[in-house]
Structure 1
Amino acid sequence: MYKMIVGNWKMNGTSADLEEFFDFANDWLNPMFDLMICPPATLIGRMTGTSVMIGAQDCHADVKGAHTGDISAEMLADAGATHVIVGHSERRTDHAETNAMVAAKTNAAWNAEMKVILCIGETEAQYRAGETLDVLRTQMAESIPDGAMKTNITIAYEPVWAIGTGLTPTLQEIADVHAFIRETLVARFGDAGAAMPLLYGGSVKASNARDIFVLPNVNGGLVGGASLRKADFTPICSALEQA
Structure 2
Amino acid sequence: MSELLLRLESLAHTLPQRPETAIVLTLAAYFAGLKLFSWLRSPAWCPPILLAACLLAGLLALLPLGYTEYRRGVGWLTWLLGPATVALGVPLYQQVHHIRTLWKPIVLTLPPAAMLAAGYAVGIAWLLDATPTVLASLAPKSVTAPIAMGIVEELQGSVPLLMGALLITGVMATLSITLLARWGNIHDPRVIGFALGVNGHAIGTVRAFDIGPTAGAFASLGMSLTGVFTALWLPLMWHFVG
TM-score after normalising by structure 2: 0.28
Higher strand share: 1
TM-score after normalising by structure 1: 0.27
